[in-house]
Structure 1
Amino acid sequence: MARAALRWGVRDLAKNADVTATTVSRIEAGKPAFAGTLDAIRVAFEAAGLEFIEENGGGAGVRFSKPTSGGS
């Protein structure tokens, strides 16, 4: 869902997270991954402006972060 929100392909995410495209594909297929790899992917998404939403009865999700107000 996060990749789709950014219109990123597997290679885009891999490049931004500094992992291989094969690693991204394996994770998306439900295969296990190292915690450090998952953290790198999360950081890449957050750096691109996404915010992860905890499950609150409606399911976990992702949304764009609120822009920082410049005060005008």
Structure 2
Amino acid sequence: MSLFVTFNKMNVMKTDILPQQIRAARALIDWTREDLANASGVTVRTLARIESSQTLPRTATLQAISSALEAAGIEFISQNGAGPGVRLARRLDDN
């Protein structure tokens, strides 16, 4: 049984957040896996397996990861014609 759904010749986690988005989000805020592990409560080993597409995370695990990244200023961008991505969330003091 596949852990992934193939969409446009790309493996997509059924949770709608790609491993690439998690890696990109960490890069944007200059976080190591250890930083994300500490913020999310997910082990470094589990993060490594998720980011390398070796495992499909449970819903609660993915929620913990995305919540930690969002609290650190990351905004996940869904598939919108240009593909999914991440960006730094706009702060209220930005114009």
- Normalised by the size of structure 2, how large is the TM-score? 0.69
What does 1:35-46 correspond to in 2, within 5 Å? 35-46=59-70
Query: How far has the Cα of 1:22 moved from its partner?
Result: 0.6
Identity %: 45
The list of structure 1 runs, each at least 4 consecutive aligned residues, that deviate by more than 2 angstroms after superposition, is: none
Q: Determine the structure 2 residue equivalent to 1:22.
A: 45
Deviations along 1:34-59, whole A, 9 cap, x unmatched? Answer: 11000000000000011111111111
Greater helix share, structure number: 1
- Give 1:1-72 correspondences, 5 Å limit: 1-30=24-53, 31-69=55-93
SS in 1 for 2:76: strand
Offset of 1:68 from its aligned partner? 1.6
Aligned length: 70
Q: Which runs of 5+ in 1 are unaligned?
A: none
Distance 1:35 1:58 in 2: 25
Q: Which has the higher strand share?
A: 2
